Amino acid sequence: MSQMLIPNTVTEACQMLSSGNSVACAGATNLYVDREKGKYLDRDIVSLHRLKELSGIREEKDGWHIGSLTTFDLIEDAFRGQGAMDALAEAASLVGGPQIRNRGTIGGNILSASPAADTVPVLMALDAVLVLVAENGQRMVSINGFMKGPGRTAIHQGEILTEIVIPFKTGAARFRKVGKRNALAISIINAAVYMEKEAGRITTLAIAVGSAGPTALRAFHTEELLRAWKRPGSEEKWQSLHEEIAIALSEDISPIDDIRATGSYRKTVADNVVLQLVRELWEACEK
């Protein structure tokens, strides 16, 4: 039978996680559901709840530092109306219901590595960097490239995610989620877009889509298409952009059929959502 291990320091947590027979637990919103399905039954659980230093948000020279144990409700409260970070607040506000948002953490959202995780596309679009600490040092890696597949990331055994660093941004960002209902729904498609504009042209653009492949991912072909795009003055031009986005996105994403939606429905929704976000950001920047 598995044990509950309770570290008092990050170093202790790293030691406990280096055995290979243990799994870290933050807000635990997945733990018992996973165990019911037979996962982690023989693994020791390393409960991180005493590591209070991993919870909270700091503003530093290089950007926002969000502790990995910061819960969704705190993220929503901290970043509402805060420029591009509002997209992260929006994503956090749409996770589960209030009880889940009071417990679920941003670190858990990343490391559970669900393709439908709501904060991950925003973190990708905002170029978030993850701070991973091990007993003998730490490394910083971009979230882009960190997600490896459903339930898999590039974290090493014995490492713990302590912080997510998001560089300050001058542009605007938006997030959208499409699910079966407003609360407690897993995303059928979610997407985040970050945009900087100058003199009627997009200068910086990042598009990330979730629930449309084995991990959330950046839509590089679609980004390239839009960077070359000039001011779409008429409704017809937006319409033709919609068609071009649909073609470019088919190079970027590979949504599958599952219990929540078919792949082709997901693709249609992704096309629409990406266009919608791009258009909203474009028009908001015009004002």
Q: What is the DSSP-derived secondary structure letter of residue 160? A: E
Residues 49-88 that bind other proteins (CB under 8 A): 49, 73
Residues 6+ apart with CB under 8 A from 128: 142, 143, 164, 165, 166
Query: What does residue 180 show for φ and ψ, rounded to 5 degrees?
Result: -75, -30
Taking the chain, what is the end-to-end CA distance rounded to the nearest angstrom? 61
Neighbours of 65 (CB within 10 A): 18
Using the contact rule CB under 8 A, the part of the chain among 15-23, 27-35, 115-123, 225-233 near other proteins is 27-35
Q: Kindly tell me the burial class for residue 182, based on how many C-beta atoms sit within 10 Å of its own C-beta (0-12, 13-18, 19 or more).
A: exposed
Q: For other proteins, which is the closer residue by CB, 117 or 248?
A: 117
Measured between alpha carbons, how far is residue 240 from residues 124, 236, 270, 272, 287 in Å?
27, 6, 16, 13, 23
Out of 83, 98, 149, 167, name the contact with other proteins by CB under 8 A: 98
Tokens linked to 243: 């068609």
Pick the binder of other proteins from 36, 235, 236, 286 (CB under 8 A). 36
Q: Which position among 22, 29, 112, 144 is part of the footprint of other proteins (CB under 8 A)?
A: 29
Using CB under 8 A, pick the residue from 9, 99, 138, 264 that binds other proteins. Answer: 99
Of the candidate spans 21-29, 61-69, 187-195, 262-270, the one that interacts with other proteins by CB under 8 A turns out to be: 21-29
Q: What x-and-dash track marks residues 112-151 binding other proteins by CB under 8 A?
A: ----------------------------------------
Q: Which is nearer to other proteins, 47 or 222 (CB)?
A: 47
Residue 3 found at the interface with other proteins (CB under 8 A) = yes
Task: Specify the residue for token string 């409704």.
Answer: 235
Q: Which residues bind other proteins (CB under 8 A)?
A: 1-4, 6, 25, 28-29, 31-33, 35-36, 45, 47, 49, 73, 96-100, 102-103, 182-184
